[in-house]
Amino acid sequence: MSAHDTIMAEAERIKALGEASESKAPYAVNQATIGTWLDAMGYDNERFRTGEAPPSMAQVWTMPGLGRRRPDDDPLSRMMEVLTDAGYTAVLGTNCEQTYERYLRVGEELRVTTALDSVVGPKKTAMGEGYFVTSRNTWYVGDEVVATMLFRVLKFVPVQRKGEKP
């Protein structure tokens, strides 16, 4: 079996797991984090100083942060390991598509599920040859979907530029 066949077989196996990974936010949506985020972004809106969170913060609530890890069954991490083991050692974020169903409110507790959406490649790019890996995240409050995100990265073997050392 070729390296490509092995990669694609593993991608299909991971995709078949569906939304295999689930994480709960370590903290409820809270005004202090919203305020800090607004300050960091240089953005102010009274609506977000009085109990609602900007929709684009959805991912903030469930990010692992320092000292925590993604779940062992995280499909994106698993696929990244497969590609790293096959020699595709560099990564570049390419795009992110988010959809917001509603604003989050202070006190709500979120959870996120993650699934592997697709693996496409190998593709030759200016950065090097690699695979485009897309994961799908869905955020919930209870059973209600509040946001979704497709996140795509290029996992690649860097092109060696003239004069660079390997």
Residue written as token pair 């990974």: 21
Segments in the chain below pLDDT 50: none
- State how far the Cα of 92 lies from the Cα of 75, in Å rounded to an integer: 17
Are the beta carbons of 83 and 129 closer than 8 angstroms? no
Q: Where do the structural domains in the chain lie, given as residue ranges?
A: 3-157
> Which pTM does this prediction carry?
0.87
What pLDDT, on the 0 to 100 scale, is given for residue 166? Answer: 62
Could you read off the pLDDT of 99-126 as tens digits, one per residue?
999 999 999 999 999 999 999 999 999 9
Could you read off the pLDDT of 13-27 as tens digits, one per residue?
999 987 778 999 999
State the CATH architecture for 3-157: Roll (3.10)
Whether the link from the prior residue into 75 is cis, omega within 30° of 0, is no
Q: Quick one: CA dihedral 141, 143, 16, 20, positive or negative?
A: positive
- State how far the Cα of 149 lies from the Cα of 106, in Å rounded to an integer: 21
- State how far the Cα of 77 lies from the Cα of 70, in Å rounded to an integer: 8
What pLDDT, on the 0 to 100 scale, is given for residue 1? Answer: 85
